[in-house]
Structure formats: C-alpha cells, structure tokens
Structure 1
Amino acid sequence: MAPTLRTVVRRLSLKLGVLSGQDALDRPVRWVAVSELEDPTPFLEGAELVLTTGMRLDARNAGSYVDRLVGREVTGLGFGIGLGHEKIPAALVDAAARAGLPLIEVPRDTPFVAIGKVVSELLAAEQYDEISRAFAAQGRLTRAALRPEGPQAVIDRLARELGGWALLLDEAGAVRHATGRGAAVAAEGLRPELERLRKSEGRGAPTSLALSTPLEHVIVQPLGARRIRGFFAVGLERPFTPVAHTVVNAAGSLLTLAIEHGGEHLAAERRVRSAVLRLLLAGQVQAGRETLERLGDGFPCGPLVVIAAGGDGEAVLEAGGNEFAAADEGRVVLVVPAGRADTVVSALRDHGPLGVGATVSPEDLRTGLEQADRALASARRGAVPVMRFADLAGQSLMSLLDPDVTAAFSSALLAPLREHGSRADLLASLRAYLECNGHWDAAAQRLGVHRHTLRYRMRRAAELLGRDLDDPAVRAELWVALAVAD
C-alpha cells in the first residue's frame, strides 16, 4: 500500500500543518504533483498530493478550484506560503473544509522537492516491504511444496498467506483439495469459468481468469506446462494486492511443477511395474519383489488372484488403490491377495469389463493371467461387467491342456474358415450355432439373420472343414478351438 497523508505530515523535518480535512488524513499518497495551473486536473490521475503557491488563486476561484481537485479524487492540497501569499487565503480554507479536502500549510523554508523526496522514499520503502513479504511467502509456499502431500500443502499454505479460500481441481473440474470457508460452494460456481479456460487452450497458452463481485474476488489459473492438467482457484473478500498476485503466481508455478513432475514420476513408475510384471510372469518372483522394494513398494504373498481389466487404464489404476497393478498390452493387470479379490473387483466393476482368474501361487502367475484374460474376453463378448474364470463353461478342462499345443490345434482346425473370403461371418455364425447347442432359430436370432442364412453358412463351414457339425465330438473340438482362438 502507498503511504498515507498522515504519515507524510508527521515528518517533523517538513514542518507541515493541517488546516482542514483532518478526518481524511489516512488517504494514500501515490505521488506528489506541483502545479500553479488554475485547473491541474487534466494532468492528474488521482490520489496525488497537489502542491501550489496559489499564484492563480484568489477568493473568486478558490471554491471551483477545490471542487475540481475533489472531483479528480486527489488526496490533499499542500499550499506554500511566503511567496505569493503570506498565509493561505481564507476562502480556500473554507472551501477545503466544506469539501473535506485535507489542506496542508507548507512553510517558506520547506521546499516542495523535500516533500516529493519524502513521499518517494516512503513509496520505495513500501515497495521493498511488499517485495520482502512476497519473497517470504514464496519461501513458505516452496517449503510446503516439498512436503509429502505436495500440491495439497501448497493450497493450504496459499489460503493461510492470503486469508481466504483455495481450491485444487482436476482436469474435469472435480475438487481434489479444498481449504478455507466457502471453498466447496465456490467450486460449483466455477464450472462455467473452467470450461472457458479449456476452450482457450486450443487458441494458444491458456490464461488465468479474475472474477469480482461486491462480496468476493476470485482468481482461477490452469495448471500444466504443455496442456491443462488441472486448475487452482483462490478467493478473497477484498481485492488482490500486488503482493497477493505475486503469491498466487508463485503458487501456480509450484503446483504446475508438482503436477508435471508427478506425472513424469508416475509414468516412470508404471513402466517399472510393467517390467516387474514381465519378470513375475517369467517365474522370476524374487527378482520382481526386489525391484518393487527399491520403489518402496511390495508384492503380496500367499495365494493370489489375477484380474485383467479392459476399461479406462487411468481410472482402473486409480481405483485399484495400493494393489499391484501394471498396464500391459491394452489392459491393466492387477495381482491381489486372494482374500481381497472380491473387494477389489467391487471397486473396479464400474470401470470396464473385468476378467478374474482362479486362485494361484506367486510362482504360477502366468496361469492366473491366462485365466483372467480368457475371462476378460468372455466378458467383452457377453457385454458383462465381470466374468470369473471358474464360471466359464469348459474352462476347467482347458486349463489342463498345454497352451502351445491347443493354440496349434485351434489354428489348424479353424484355418479353412479364416482363409475363406467371408471368414468373419462363418466364425461368428459357428460360434453362435455352438453356443445355442445347435438350435437354428435361437442362433439366427442372436446373429440377427434368417435361419435359412444360418443353415447356408453352416453347410459352407462343414464343407470347408470337412467335418459333420451334427457330430457331438466335432462340436466339442470346434468349441475348444474357438475358445482358444479368443
């Protein structure tokens, strides 16, 4: 803040006297303007201390002169005596008193430049104090950013520094952390403004927003170096000062750094977890455990269940909590203690199809993953949220078969259908025919075709395969082949 007029007149070296407007001495003085013009207001901005010797003032124009100064919202009028006037004209004193304008008597031996120097020194001292306060606040924000909770600690510190509320929001505008009275209510009202910032992203670097009402002043800034990764907002009951703006910008830089660094760290950690998963599937359980321990993490012991999740990877990884999870080949693989499997499945079921394997030992995770993948494929075909391996018809027998042998068997048996021009129709029709136990009407309805069309396709499939589809043994072989192909 600028120094007040009271601070200026209290400087004993200036020997100033106050003749009117004593109740308005707490107005800020933003500059000193010396003018002998009858109307200096075109050259003023407001909040100045105007100094004059009254060369053009007399009883006739004193009132209009004061009115013009008041209309321009000057802080006060300093009148130098001993040159054009031995004392301040009574008409000017009366006019200033009526208008409530502080009128300062400047003695002959106090040069106007001395008053200007005092105000300049006070302004410089105030600016230095503001800079010092801003640096101190930045230091406290930086220390907060180094705490384990990182961005949340910065938001808490920001609210305390400014004496208002603060919000940390994700990309969609959902509240990640809030502190201060009124923060939760403000979050709902900010949604339209967040959408404006999102739209500005495509037109260049996103900018901040400043909102003001008679009761509240709010700043909203996006977070992210290359794209918007979230937002933060801060609200005060008073306008933001230059120091407050500096503190807000510092908080934005720290939050962006934390989010970007956190994103890179998270990406690196996920790459390591994917590598650990490959170690585990290769039977190198001890090596996988040691790698996770170096990350400060661990791998569950005892009977395990493997879950294959085919939905949004980010949502699945977040919903998975502290369980071991790794993104791999288009799905997320979770390895959880058998006793927690049902709890984890319940937390994940709204984030896409899930395949749940049977209970396995840590050394047999590959089998658990194969089971989970088969169950996931079945969940996708049936458009069901969760499929358990134990619930798949015939999978108990298939789990006893050698994977490489059954894969070769499936490939060879179905090759004629794959090589046929309309192989997709034939494979899908064959699967529907077998799933409906050879019932033409039910299978045709499932495919959305006429039963005569289905009969033609099955005759064509039988010809290409060289097998009788009415033979139960042939149907069993084809069902196994299709299940392996999935």
Structure 2
Amino acid sequence: MQAPESLSPSPAQITVRAALEMPALARGAPEVVAGDRSLDRPIRWVHIGENPEIAAWLEGGELLLTSGLRLDPQPLKLSRFVDELADRGLAALVLELGPKFEQVPPAMVEAAERSGLPVVALHEVIRFMTVTESIHSEIIDRQLSLLRRGDEVHKRFSRLLLDGAGVAEILVALAEIVGNPVVLERRGRGIMYQATGKVEESRVTAAWRAHQRQAGCVESLAQPVLTGGDQPWGNLIMFPLSRPLSSFDEVAAERAAGLISLTLAQYHHEDLLAARGTGNMLRSIMEGRLDDVQAENAARALGFVARGDRLLPVVAARTEFRAGARTDESWQWADVSAKLSSELAGGGIQVLAGVSDSNDALLLVLDLATKRADVADAVAKVIRGMVARRGQGEAVVCVAGSARSWTEVRDGLLSAIRAVPAAIATPERAWYDASLPTVDGLLSALDGNPEAADFVRGRLKGLMEHDLTRHPKLLGTLEAYFANGMSKTETARALHLERQSLYHRLARIEELIGEKLDGEETLFGVQLALRIHRLMNDREQRSGADQRSDAAM
C-alpha cells in the first residue's frame, strides 16, 4: 500500500524563518541580530504590543511586533524584558527601528543570545497590521490543509475496516503514510504489534526498549489508546527512524489511535492482534532476520522471559492444512492462542504463541522448564481439545527438539512445519515428534514430485486400475498384509477373511503387479510405493474437501 502524494507529511505551522521571507515582513528589510539558530521555531500567532509587561499575557509560540516606544532604555530593564519573553516561550521578537531605538540595544541582544530567542530588527517602516493579517492567513490555511489531510487519512483507515481489515492493517497503513515505524504497546504487557515499514525490526524494538527505560528522553510521538476503562489500554508510539516527525504525523497518529480504540473496544481484536504480532516476530526468526540477541530482545518486548535455558518449538495445524493458503475466516487460531497462553500459564508454562498472516498454523515457543514430553503432552491436550470442542475437525501438533538458542528455535520451527503433512498422514497420536527423521517425513517431501508419481504408477498401476472398478479393493489387502508383518494368519484375521480367500487375493495381487512378493527388492519397492500412494491419496482427499467447502461458501 503506497502513501499517496496528498498524504505526504509537511509542517502545519509557519516558522520564523519562513515568516521573514513573506512579502509583508520582507518589506521592512529584516535583520536577525540574535538567536539565528532558533529561526525554525514555529509561530502559533502574531501579537502587536508596546506594553513593557506584555509577557504576562503571552502563552508561547507568538511572534511579537513592537516599536519599543514604551520600553525603559535602561540596560537592566531591557535585559529583563527579553528574559521574560524568552521564559514565556516567545517564537521571536521583531523590533522596528525608529525614533526610540536607532539600533537594537546591546543589552537586548546579549539577553537574547543567552536564551536563544530570535530578535529581528526592521530597518524600514511597515504596517504591522498587514504583517499580522498575512501571517495569520498563512497559519489558518496550513491548519485547514492539515485538517483536510487528517480527514483523508481517517477515511482511508475507515475504508480498511469496512473492507474487513483489522488493527494490524491500520498500523501498517499508518507506518507507510508517515514514513516511520509505529508500535502498539499494551499497558503492562509490552508490544502487541509493530509495523516497521522499511526499518529493521531490531532497530524498532531497540527504540521501544530505550523509550521504556528513558521515558521522555527518546524522541517519539505517542497517542493513548482508550477502550473505556479507568486507565489507558495502551499507547500508539511513532519513532522517527526514517524521517523527522511533523505536525501531520501527530494528526495521523491521533486519527489512527481513535479508530484502534473503537475497534479494540467493540470487536475484541486484541487476541488476534497479539497473535499476529507474535507470529510476525517468530516468522522473522524463521527467515533469519533476527539474530539471537535481537530475538531475545524481541521476545522480552512481547513479555516472554524464559526461566530455564531451553526452549521448545511447536507447530499446530488442522488436518485441512495447506501451507500458505488462507483459511476460513471463521476459524481463528488467534482464539486458541489466547486461551492456550492462559491455560498453560496456570500450569507455570510460559508460551509465545502466534499465527501466520494466512492463518494456516499456530507457531509456538515454550519455556521448557520441565520434561519435554510433559510439556508436549500438556500443549497437545489443550490444543486438540479446543479444536474438537469448536467442531473444527482435528488438529495435529508437531513438537521439535529442545533448543538452547533462538537460532535452534528457528531450525525447530522449520522442521515442525515440514513435519505437518507427515503428521496428518500418520495414525492419530497426541503429538508428532518432529525432532526425529521419519519415513513419512521423508516421503512427504516427495509429495507432488512427478518422479515419485511415476514410481508409484510403475509399481502399482495394475492394482490401482483394478480398484477403480472392481471389488475387493486389493490395495487395502496389500497394506494390511504388510501391516501384519506378512503373516497370512494375522492378515486374514484382521480382514475377517478365510485364509483361502486371502491366498486368492495375494495371488491376484502378484499377477497384477507382475512380481512375486518374496524378493527383498520387490518387497521394499512395493511397500515404498504403497506409502507414497497413501500420502498422495490423503493430499488429494484434503484438497477435494477444501474445494467443496469453498464452493459451499
């Protein structure tokens, strides 16, 4: 999503430097005699005054025009006059030279230099009212322009929500519009989501951590996020890591914070937002964009602090899993993620739980303070129970080996994801051990490989064609034969057949495959072809079920 040119940030207030270049003031031949390093101060308003006590009526940010007619020329009083103006936050003092002062008194110049207050001498007589009208018109025009652009941003965010987007999409759009990263933090819990734009995630996390340690000392722009409670829900924070902050950034952040507050309060997006934010962090680890130190800092920013020295990577997916395919919106792993974290916390198990953008799997990293098998059992029980209670089919849980670094966590998550198809194809179990290489895991990697399909057809073509039109199904008979250790007695019992009937089936199988079931190479080849065929058949059945589900929707 590209930010249109109409939304590109620009200052809303006119500066002292810009005002001096405007024709109404430039006609007075202005000369900066002090405070030239502060000419980029914004002007909030313009005042004309001759009262020596005028500082008491100023609120800060004004440009004061005066001829100095009522000023006491004594150096101490002139110095005090300048000091009082500087204390009130005056943007600049413009002194018209004439009958009272032929030049700016040295006492005023010295006091202004000490405080950094810009002092401008006018060498030509001009109409102060013309200057006032000109600058005020420019200030109002810029403020109106800023408000119009703020309305454009608000409409853009609203359209995102109407199109089905959530808080995460608003944050991403905001970061792109202002050209700086933004962070949404939850009060007392840390980062919920960060939209980094083109800035490295580790830099954004570091800026947020520094902001937490030294509030007010790290340049940032923060807007509170309110959801109706006594205390703010959290804060939307913008960091100037790509470009300086501007008045437009403040308006854009305010509009975004308002809609985020409404969305969190009315639509309960907090769980989804937290799961997606954590998912983004875990994917950054998996893609090698965070080293061990950066990953540890990111995890701490999300509120995860491991008690032990080992972590456990886990991936959960439904049996309808298709890597990278966006799943039914009614099924939210985010809901499982939130309840899982709550239930495991009750058992003293800390967890980082996140979902992918496509919502096809739940990514987990657990604090392995006890035995791996015990933690895996607890996680699998909670996840499988939640999925079953929601009537959303079945889930598989793939548990990687324990990890002693975030680099090993990355490897574990990747191996667990690769193991999902094999876990789906194997007999039901509480959880699938992705730390050990398995035959089904190896064969799953061949899924979709044309050479593997050719191998299956070459070995089993006769049986496959037979089973399409005739009974009994001989592929099932052959699988049962191998599953029972090639014992004819046990196979007949398992299939509820007379032994003589089994003998006839086995003879017909040998006839159709063109080989005797007795040679080592033949037995290995046929069993391998059967395993690959089963994996391919399971995938086709899942794909067909998904297509029927999509059509029904």
- So what's the TM-score if we normalise by structure 2? 0.40
- So what's the TM-score if we normalise by structure 1? 0.45
Higher relative contact order (CA 8 A, sep 6+): 2
Higher-Rg member (1/2): 1
